[in-house]
Amino acid sequence: MNLHQRTNRVPGMPDAVTVYEVGPRDGLQNESTVIPVETKAEFIRRLVQAGLPIVEVTSFVHPTWVPQLADAEALLDLIGPNSPAPMPVLVPNERGLDRAIDKGVTHIAVFGSATETFAQRNLNRSLDSQFEMFAPTIERALAAGMRVRAYISMCFGDPWEGDVDEREVVKVGGRFIDLGVEQISLGDTIGVATPGQVTSLLRWFDSAGIPPTSLAVHFHDTYGQALANAFAALQAGITTFDSSAGGLGGCPYAKSATGNLATEDLVWMLHGLGVRTGIDLESLVRTSSWMAEVLGRPSTSSVVRALAPTSIDGGELPEEDRKQ
């Protein structure tokens, strides 16, 4: 595996960023076949060993809606409580929070919408009334000493409503901040954003007094713009980036959405810019190559496809991985 890469610093870039890995949750939730819980636990273990500083592992959503994550409790039991990296879980409501508290979870995320239609379709709530559900969940989580993140979907475009008013996105974000969340993740759920849109929305947040340190970005690659959008966000001061190992994932409620920004592609760009991530890219590529073998299809990550030793991507899987 040839990882030779020249580093060129660009003025204004941060020295380091946090890569927020969502592969085990957002990446695997759309798979058509059930993945054994032991395989998921092994995937998470390998991601942590590769240096991912935070790994979102599962969701306590009702299994009727996301059957791939019906094994949430069993997965947390296999992972155990002593991981060196935080392992957030997504909780949709107070019932999900109860399950998280019962398992000793310390980091949670809630999932809201920037548009009326998606709120109705995804949460069965209006844009305003979604906060009636989130408020007690966030309040209880904070009282329990948990750290809370909020996802906002459809920040750049909605398949039913089209363009999304940036002022509405900022308004939703501000309401989450007022509820006490630590960080807002701005989602390009259907992957329609371009770098100029990213820059513009982040300026709106800054004008509203919500700094880049309170924000993360979550890009999908439907139109091949995810990495360019990440660069625009980096230039705007964002230092937390959601991504998925191997480019796994999508959105079960937005059928046009393809995979998330691939963690390997993001890390390759960041390391080339001299931005530290703490991630061992070679180890991460091996992990995504192994998962590609498990799923029986090539990774969508350009970096994995360029460097991977797996037979699915044109080479031979290492012996220790063939035994899994």
Please report where in the chains the tokens 């809606």 appear, as a residue: 65
Domain of 222, in residue numbers? 18-322
- Total tally of structural domains belonging to the chain: 1
Is 12 among the domain residues? no
DSSP state for residue 26 in the 8-state scheme: I
The whole-chain average pLDDT of the chain stands at 92
Establish if 233 belongs to a structural domain.
yes
Q: Is 155 a catalytic residue?
A: no
Cross-strand pairs, 59: 90
Tell how strand 54-55 and strand 18-21 pair up: parallel
pLDDT reading at 111 higher than 60: yes
What are 173-225's pLDDT values in tens digits?
A: 999 999 999 999 999 999 999 999 999 999 999 999 999 999 999 999 999 99
In the chain, pLDDT over 70 holds for what percent of residues? Answer: 91
Residue 9 lies inside a defined structural domain of this protein: no
Region 96-101: what's the mean pLDDT?
96
In a domain, 6, yes or no: no
- The pTM is what? 0.93
Of the listed 108, 251, 275, 284, which one is catalytic?
251
310 in Cβ contact with 292 (< 8 Å): yes
Q: What is the CATH number of the domain that holds 295?
A: 3.20.20.70
**pLDDT for the residue 253:** 53
In whole angstroms, what is the distance from residue 122 CA to residue 119 CA?
A: 5
Residue 160 lies in a domain: yes
